[in-house]
Amino acid sequence: MDKSLEKRLHNILNEILPLRNTADEVFIFPHVGADGDALGSGLSLAAALNTLNIKALVLADEEPISSLEFLPRQDLLRVFAPDELEHYIKRINIAIAVDCHQSERMEMRGELFERAPIKIIMDHHVHDGDLGELALMNTEASSTSELVFDFIEALERETGEELFNQDLATLIVTGLVTDTGRFSFPTTTARAFEQMACLKHFKPDTTRIYYELYERITLPQALVRGEVLSRIKCSSEQGVIVSSVSREILRKAGAVDGDLETLPSEMRMVEGVKVAFLLRETAVPGEVRVNIRSNDCFDSAAFALRYNGGGHVRAAGMTLYNTSLEAAEELILSEAAKTLEQCPDKVSGEKSDN
Ligand SMILES: [Mn+2]
């Protein structure tokens, strides 16, 4: 860790450690739509502070998404309701932002964060300017969990207490695995691997973590996936792949729209495919929602924009009106194939759409 980070880490220790054995309270703010890194870092930090007899809770905008329901120490998680603002303002002594550094990323809790007497930041996202002496910001870190690991290690050194245990290991491993794309992204640091080696000592159940994060699906999800994959159509060059789902298919599978979320990416995995489209009827007659995922040679956002949609280079969406699934499929297949013909070899942008 470089000198200025080391100094900031100590500034933060000096704010937090005097709270030991007092009634003062720390609230930890993950970003809205908390992912494995935001919740993993937040809950592990809260757990470590509580072991030191510092009152700390994670305050989130919503319940954890289903793939994160398995996370331990959710006894330290509270879901914020707007009418509780005054209640929390009276209680809060220190606010810690994790995996974000702006109150805009905290939605309903933004005002509470802004009004906290002391604000601390632990984050690895790119930021403008200096965020102050209490900001543990490191854009080189592959996750916030990586920063929180170092912070908890410093807490151990400073207090002589043992803080790491199996729960903390599970939480931090979840954060590391999430933000490194299972240790595949080029941003993965050597430090992340070192921390994994260290956490292994506390026996996190990595099989369970991977199952919960990447494998577990419900029966309706499996059924609807089968329907989607069996309905795949390809352009003649196989660069464009399309599938569609009617309300009837969803109903028979017992699935909801959210159950389709990972399928466009799965379709994109097919060898030779440049762009995948998943079409689905919405509840409104004649309306077809289109989700797009592309590889290196197709600008999804530009394509979606032609139909008043939007998104990113590799992940976008749009809605078609006054059409049928069949007509929409035909249109998309031919238009996308045409677009692909005019494509340069590559478009810029990250491969990941996370
Ligand atoms: Mn992160």
Per-residue model confidence (pLDDT) at position 344 = 63
What separation in Å is there between the alpha carbon of 34 and the centre of ligand 1?
9
> How confident is the prediction along the chain (354 residues), in pLDDT tens digits per residue?
788 899 999 999 999 999 999 999 999 999 999 999 999 999 999 999 999 999 999 999 999 999 999 999 999 999 999 999 999 999 999 999 999 999 999 999 999 999 999 999 999 998 888 899 999 999 999 999 999 999 999 999 999 999 999 999 999 999 999 999 999 999 999 999 999 999 999 999 999 999 999 999 999 999 999 999 999 999 888 899 999 999 999 999 999 999 999 999 999 999 999 999 999 999 999 999 999 999 878 999 999 999 999 988 999 999 999 999 999 999 999 999 999 988 765 444 444 443
* pLDDT at res. 122: 98
Q: Answer with the one of 166, 184, 215 that is the final residue of a domain.
A: 215
Among residues 183, 177, 152, 178, which one has the least CA distance to residue 165? 152
248: in domain: yes
Q: What is the DSSP code string of 278-342?
A: EEEE-SSTT-EEEEEEE-TT--HHHHHHTTT-EE-SSEEEEEE-S--HHHHHHHHHHHHHHHHHT
Q: What is the pLDDT of residue 200?
A: 98
Picking from 16, 2, 4, the residue whose alpha carbon sits closest to that of residue 155 is: 16
Q: What is the whole-number distance in angstroms between the Cα of residue 104 and the centre of ligand 1? A: 16
Going from the Cα of 334 to the center of ligand 1, the distance in angstroms, rounded, reads 39
Please indicate, yes or no, if residue 229 is contained in any of the structural domains.
Answer: yes
Cα-to-centroid distance, 41 and ligand 1 (Å): 9
189 domain-assigned: yes
Instruction: Note whether 39 and 52 are same-domain residues.
Output: yes
The set of residues, in sequence order, having a beta carbon less than 8 Å from that of 155 and lying 6+ positions away, is 13, 17, 48, 49, 52, 161, 163
CA of 350 to the centre of ligand 1 (A): 16
| Residue 33's CATH number | 3.90.1640.10
Instruction: Using the mean position of ligand 1's atoms as its centre, give its distance from the Cα of residue 232 in Å.
Output: 34
Q: How far is the CA of 55 from the centre of ligand 1 (A)?
A: 24
- Both 143 and 85 in one domain: the answer is yes
Q: Judge whether 155 lies within some domain.
A: yes
For residue 117, what is the DSSP state?
S
Residues 274 and 136 in one domain: no
Residue 159 belongs to some domain of the structure: yes
95 neighbors 15 (Cβ within 8 angstroms): no
CA 348 to ligand 1 center in whole angstroms? 23
Do residues 190 and 336 share a domain? no
- How many domains would you assign to the chain? 2
Dist. CA 295 → ligand 1 center (Å): 23
| pLDDT for the residue 354 | 39
Report how far ligand 1's centroid is from the alpha carbon of 2 (Å).
Answer: 20
- Cα(125) to ligand 1 centroid in Å equals 7
One domain for residues 17 and 154: yes
CA of 79 to the centre of ligand 1 (A): 20
Ligand 1 centroid–CA 124 distance in Å is 6
Question: ∠ CA 77-78-83 to the nearest 5 degrees?
Answer: 170
Question: Is there a domain that residue 347 lies in?
Answer: no
- Output the CA 287–ligand 1 centroid distance in Å: 36
- Clarify whether residues 258 and 312 are in a common domain: yes
Residue 120 lies in a domain: yes
pTM: 0.85
Using the mean position of ligand 1's atoms as its centre, give its distance from the Cα of residue 30 in Å: 10
Q: How far is the CA of 293 from the centre of ligand 1 (A)?
A: 22
Q: Is residue 223 part of a domain?
A: yes
**Separation of 309 CA from ligand 1 center, angstroms?**
27
196 and 244 inside one domain: no
Residue after which a domain boundary falls, among 160, 182, 215: 215
Q: Answer yes or no: do 233 and 182 share one domain.
A: no
On whether both 223 and 189 belong to a single domain, the answer is no
Q: Which of 275, 243, 272, 274 lies closest to 260, judged by CA?
A: 243
Q: Which CATH number do you get for residue 327?
A: 3.10.310.30
Looking at 194, 215, 236, which one is the last position of a domain?
Answer: 215
Q: At 217, phi and psi to the nearest 5?
A: -130, 160
One domain, residues 323 and 201: no
**Ligand 1 centroid to 37 CA: how many Å?**
5
Domain that holds residue 144: 3-215
Q: What is the pLDDT of residue 331?
A: 97
Q: Are residues 206 and 241 in the same domain?
A: no
Check whether residue 27 and residue 151 sit in a common domain: yes
